[in-house]
Homo-oligomer: A and B are copies of this chain.
Amino acid sequence: MTPPRSSVDRPEPASAGSGPFGVGGAGVGPVRTQHVVVATAADPLELDCGRRLGHVEVGYETYGRLDPDGGNAVYLCHALTGDAHAAGIDGVTGAVGWWDALIGPGRAIDTDRWFVVCGTLLGSCLGTTGPTTADPATGRPYGLDFPPLTIADQARVHRRLCRALGIDRLHAVIGPSVGGMHALQWFLDAPEEIGRTVLIASSGRLTVENRAFSAAGRQAILDDPGFDGGRYLERGGPGPVVGLAAARRFAHITYVSGGSLQRKLGDAPPSPWPPREAADWLAPGRAIERYLEHQGRSFLDRFDALSYLYLTRPMDDFDPFGEQAAAAARSAVQRNPAARHRVISFDSDWRFGADHSRALVDGLRAAGALDVSHQELAAPWGHDAFLLEVDGFPELIAESLR
């Protein structure tokens, strides 16, 4: 059941290699994900739920060189099912990093200038400690014995990774989608560590509709008999493959725009239609149906249901500018009011679109941040636009770092 390491969601690969979109320059070449232990029994990770983890290992990659004064570090917070492999070509699997087109010498995130760090999220199945890794107390996969997580818990692990690498301040923290939540939370927890944030297609608080989609996906997994109380890994069952594939297919629909589906997959039914047999009639024969079928099945090969639960749930609870948290946000921002915050949305994103970005801007400004701006880019791809070729996006990222 351990899924192979893999690159992030990418409905259409961004152009990689020698001709990245918008900004030129060479790639970072062959890379290999490293691992580092960031919490131990002597220095455990305290979690918001009141429990602690006495062993946390993080998968990470770095590109470029850290300046002697440590002033050129840029941290990337990846999206939901992404991982540390943000750039370059994995030396073993050959997988291209999920933002390879944007990262490298001369690229938008110029590794001749910046030292780029990306670590896999706490709770993921892609190289960092999570519910699929072995519980040191039992030697078996944690399953549901892994503690509940918050966005702040996950951001704390990003910070520990930086400390382990000798980085105590960040020129910038960049996060697309849920990664933007981690970037923002990190800033609010340690504002003096961060010079600027770049929050891309992200949100400061899910809508109830966002949470509904997420909840229906989790429920499909939890209801699947293959979930087996979260013990499928150690018991060797198939896992909740029906529920996870269903969750992924529906989630995927929310990651793309209706317009891009229409353009790419708006084919007519096979002819003659309808066929005589119901099995043929109901089979996923149209382009959109084959596409979704593939989205579900391929996700099973690279991601795990427990991690899907553990990574989606914290997003529901994120509300840094809500009534409960507003005072803390104000006092945090006052510790570094001049930090720069660039918020970017895509006009076809109906998951975390402009409303979400505007709420982030409003929340930061209300908390006292002085340098907050919002750019909306035209892109036909919906939420996934941050992974794809969008006019002006590389330039905007490059400019956000300058």
Contact = CB atoms under 8 A, between A and B. Distances in A.
B316 A49 contact: no
A222 interface: yes
B215 A242 contact: no
Contact of A148 (B131, B225, B242, B274): B274
A296 B219 contact: yes
A402 interface: no
Q: Is the interface of A mostly helix, strand, loop or mixed?
A: helix
Given A209-B261, A243-B242, A258-B208, A278 B215 contact: no
Contact of A209 (B131, B220, B262): B262
Nearest to A282: B309
A149 interface: yes
Interface stretch (A10-18, A88-96, A181-189, A286-294): A286-294
A138 to B, nearest CB: 15
Given A215-B288, A288-B208, A316 B269 contact: yes
Contacts of A279: 144
A354 to B, nearest CB: 14
A308 to B, nearest CB: 11
A60 B224 CA distance: 37
A202 to B, nearest CB: 18
A209 B253 contact: yes
A299 interface: no
11 contacts: A49-B276, A146-B278, A148-B278, A215-B284, A216-B253, A219-B289, A220-B220, A223-B246, A243-B246, A268-B322, A282-B313
Please provide the 4 A-B residue pairs with the shortest distance between their CB atoms, ordered closest to farther: A209-B258, A148-B281, A148-B274, A220-B246
Interface of A: 48-51, 131, 144-150, 207-209, 211-213, 215-216, 218-220, 222-225, 230, 241-243, 245-247, 249-250, 253, 258, 261-262, 265-266, 268-269, 273-282, 284, 286, 288-289, 292-293, 296, 309-310, 313, 316-317, 322, 324
